[in-house]
Amino acid sequence: MTAPIVVEAVQSDPSEPRQRFVQCASPAGLHRMAYTEWGAPANPRVCSSACTA
């Protein structure tokens, strides 16, 4: 069973970097992970990088 992904927008100006969050499940329970989007939202090229703490 897969949990639904919830995305929350913090900024709405597409010309600025956008900080967003997604809710993730782990053995310790649910947690919120942040990510940053930038550039044109319609651009089909995507790069991703992940950090863990």
Q: Which residue has the higher pLDDT, 15 or 4?
A: 15
Asked if residue 8 lies in contact with residue 26, where contact means CB atoms within 8 angstroms, the answer is no
Of 38, 28, 29, 33, nearest to 53 by C-alpha is 33
**What residue segments make up the domains of the chain, in order of their start?**
1-53
**Residue by residue, what is the 3-state secondary structure of the chain?**
CCCCCCEEECCCCCCCCEEEEEEEEECCEEEEEEEEECCCCCCCCCCCCCCCC
Model pLDDT, residue 3 = 62
**Rounded Cα distance, 28 and 3, in Å:** 15
Q: What is this structure's pTM?
A: 0.50
pLDDT reading at 6 higher than 70: no
What would the pLDDT profile of 7-51 be if each residue is shown by its tens digit? Answer: 555 546 667 888 889 999 999 999 999 988 888 878 887 766 655
